[in-house]
A and B are shown apart, each in its own frame.
Chain A
Amino acid sequence: MSDGASSLAEVADDRPRRRYRGWGGIALLGVFIVLVLVGPWVVPHDPLAPAPAAKLSPPSASHVFGTDQLGRDVFSRVITATRLDLGIAFAAVSISLVLGTALGAAAGWAGGWTDRIVGRLLDTIMAFPLFVLAVGVAAALGNSISSVVIATAVVNLPFYARQSRAEVNRRRGAGFVEAARLAGTGPVAIVALHIMPNVAPPLMVQSSLNMGWAILNAAGLSFIGLGVRPPQPEWGIMVSEGAANIFSGEWWLFVFPGAALMLAVLAFSVVGDTLRDRLDPRRR
């Protein structure tokens, strides 16, 4: 009888696999963080220095990822770009997190009209295909890195706002909240000091998953030409520049930055999933 679902077998089977994946993700994430911190100092070549003589050479001992159209070392550029790509995503997610959580908390706490207005705002954001909205916002704010950050932040807002609103709403009537209120604590302090610590874990999970998404979003925007300008090394723009050389077979120009993107997103996703598994009481 193979048509039955055996939840016992399924959960039991997954656990060892999940553990390896979790540690793998954390290790990968660690590598990226190290690159963000010390990247520019450990690169073998200057990422901005053109060397026309060596242009478009395939991966070799001296240029592990090959060189690009201007003879620049792709490996150094990929490493250097880590800071920018992760930095943009981090800035965007931070803004989303703070703003979204605050907005959601206000809506969840106050209820009534505040809740309704915030709800409408979130619904409006989610009524757009998200990348389309990002393009619109980035274009409206002008072609710069800050507009990419803001666009990504806007698009990520609903995730945090929804979660925060739900959690605050749920705890609004709880005993410890009542106690704090009776003690004279103002609403902002109650939300910030009493409720938020409980909400922090799911928000952390969300942030990790969102980092991956933000990286992709920002890279997508730079791929189509918004935000980052040459000669600045950034993964999205490197893929875009490398795309033109596909027809002549110089694959290393787009494969390595693209792989870097993929690995970064994967690292954040796996860590986010692991966090979620750990924090979900049902899975203990």
Chain B
Amino acid sequence: MTAGQHAAGTLLLRRILVGIPSLVGVVVATFLLTRALPGDPAAYFAGPAATAASIEEIRQRLGLDRGITDQFILYVRDLVRGDLGTSLLSGQPVLDDLLRRLPASLELTLLALMLASGVGIPLGIAAALRPGSGIDGVCSVLAMIGQAVPTFFMGLILVFVFYYTLEWAPAPIGRLDIIYAPPRALTGFWSVDAALVGDIDLLGRVLAQLVLPVVTLAFFGLGPLARMTRASMLEVLASDFIRTARAAGLPHRMVLWTYAFRNALIPVLGTAGMVFSFLLGANVLVEKVFGWPGVGAYAIEAVLASDYAPVQGFVIAMAMLYLLVNLAIDICSSIIDPRMSFDE
């Protein structure tokens, strides 16, 4: 193992270790949440239609008749085994339901993040290069709107304008019109699957359904990403090493991209993580507006039906996802910025 690989391994380990307290916190917090249920938690999990006998059975199984430490141990044991309980509505194990629906949600979130970055980062760069100009103004206005407009409102406006009025977008009734068969499940991301299979027509329809929800979500990530890119670029462009690069006669393009942009990207990555977290939450609202069969819609149905296990599973799953994404971002940051491997 070379010195470089050793360093990378240590880095990975250290980053994972840093994430563990958060993981523990998440597990403890979700445990406490379920025990905070007013009234009898067992009755919650058994559901509104339960008999006294089934409530007792649930109580036994979840260990709700035992001491709090025992309960916690049981809880963690179940988690580790992947047992998130059973959904009353679907009758399936919650984990199975979540896994089945996760790709739909992830497809939205990831595409939205890509769109937000793809538009926001260049916008931020342009704003940094021309401060006080029109582009800069657009950047701030977008950021301000993105903060103030409720996600669900934006989604509905887009539906009204582009589906109802202009008739450009298809009906917001989910991932695909029911008359079309979904592509073969390779990744679960229907856009990717349709492309992989080579079915261009289907790909077109899948993308058409994706446009409005993805744009709605992306809209809210745009502001923070553009603003952070702009601020970071401005700071980097004013720094001493850029002065050296320009004074040494390096070509303009190299100074901008290889020197300035790469350095400016580091805090932007952090913002991307934050945006991802926000998108995971906003996903819930967007899924409701567009009838998207993802984990958010699953959780909403469960909440309204007082079916508690799926809600708990959903919260844990989203938290885990966020932790994983943060870990990935940390690793990416360390790759771009070798200084980070030096902090003790």
Stretch at the interface among B1-9, B30-38, B77-85, B197-205: B30-38
Do A2 and B130 touch (CB < 8 A)? yes
Q: A254-B153, A265-B147 are in contact. Are A127 and B25 (CB under 8 A)?
A: yes
Do A220 and B152 touch (CB < 8 A)? yes
Do B314 and A132 touch (CB < 8 A)? yes
Q: When each residue 211-227 of chain A gets 1 if its CB lies under 8 Å from chain B and 0 otherwise, what string results?
A: 01000100110011110
Do B156 and A254 touch (CB < 8 A)? yes
Nearest A residue to B252 via CB reads: A3
Stretch at the interface among A7-15, A29-37, A66-74: A7-15
A-B contact pairs, 8 of them (CB 8 A): A2-B129, A2-B130, A136-B314, A141-B36, A223-B152, A236-B150, A243-B289, A265-B148
User: Chain B's nearest CB lies how many Å from the CB of A249?
Assistant: 6
Q: When each residue 131-174 of chain A gets 1 if its CB lies under 8 Å from chain B and 0 otherwise, what string results?
A: 11111110111110000000000000000000000000000000
Do B36 and A140 touch (CB < 8 A)? yes
Give the interface centre of B21, B148, B159, B311 by most chain A CB atoms within 10 Å.
B148
Bound complex: CA A65 to CA B285 (Å): 25
The interface of chain B, by Cβ under 8 A from chain A, is 21-23, 25-26, 28-30, 33-34, 36-38, 128-132, 136, 144, 147-153, 156-157, 159-160, 164, 171, 233-234, 237-238, 252, 255-256, 277-278, 280-282, 284-285, 288-289, 299-300, 303-304, 308, 311-312, 314-315, 318-319, 322-323
Nearest A residue to B287 via CB reads: A224
Do A128 and B318 touch (CB < 8 A)? yes
Stretch at the interface among A49-57, A75-83, A189-197, A255-263: A255-263
Give the contacting residue for A123; candidates B25, B37, B157; CB below 8 A: B25
Residues of B within 8 A of A134 (CB): 281
Residues of A within 8 A of B234 (CB): 5, 7
Residues of B within 8 A of A212 (CB): 147-148
Q: A4-B237, A129-B322, A247-B164 are in contact. Are A136 and B150 (CB under 8 A)?
A: no
Residues of B within 8 A of A140 (CB): 33-34, 36-37, 308
Give the contacting residue for A3; candidates B255, B281, B300; CB below 8 A: B255
Q: Which 8 A-B pairs have the closest CB atoms?
A: A131-B281, A124-B25, A258-B153, A129-B280, A136-B315, A10-B131, A13-B132, A265-B148
Q: A2-B129, A220-B150, A262-B153 are in contact. Are A132 and B318 (CB under 8 A)?
A: yes
User: Chain B's nearest CB lies how many Å from the CB of A208?
Assistant: 13
Bound complex: CA A127 to CA B147 (Å): 21
Q: Is A278 at the interface (CB under 8 A from chain B)?
A: no
Residues of A within 8 A of B322 (CB): 127-129
Q: Is A130 at the interface (CB under 8 A from chain B)?
A: yes
User: Chain A's nearest CB lies how many Å from the CB of B257?
Assistant: 11
Q: When each residue 232-262 of chain A gets 1 if its CB lies under 8 Å from chain B and 0 otherwise, what string results?
A: 0000100110110011010100110010011
The interface of chain A, by Cβ under 8 A from chain B, is 2-7, 9-10, 13-14, 120-121, 123-125, 127-137, 139-143, 212, 216, 219-220, 223-226, 236, 239-240, 242-243, 246-247, 249, 251, 254-255, 258, 261-262, 265-266, 269
Do A136 and B164 touch (CB < 8 A)? no
Do A239 and B153 touch (CB < 8 A)? yes
User: Chain B's nearest CB lies how many Å from the CB of A1?
Assistant: 9
Residues of B within 8 A of A9 (CB): 131-132
Do B132 and A220 touch (CB < 8 A)? no
Residues of B within 8 A of A14 (CB): 132
Residues of B within 8 A of A125 (CB): 29
Do B303 and A269 touch (CB < 8 A)? no
Bound complex: CA A239 to CA B319 (Å): 28
Do B156 and A246 touch (CB < 8 A)? yes
Q: A4-B237, A130-B277 are in contact. Are A266 and B144 (CB under 8 A)?
A: yes
Residues of B within 8 A of A240 (CB): 152
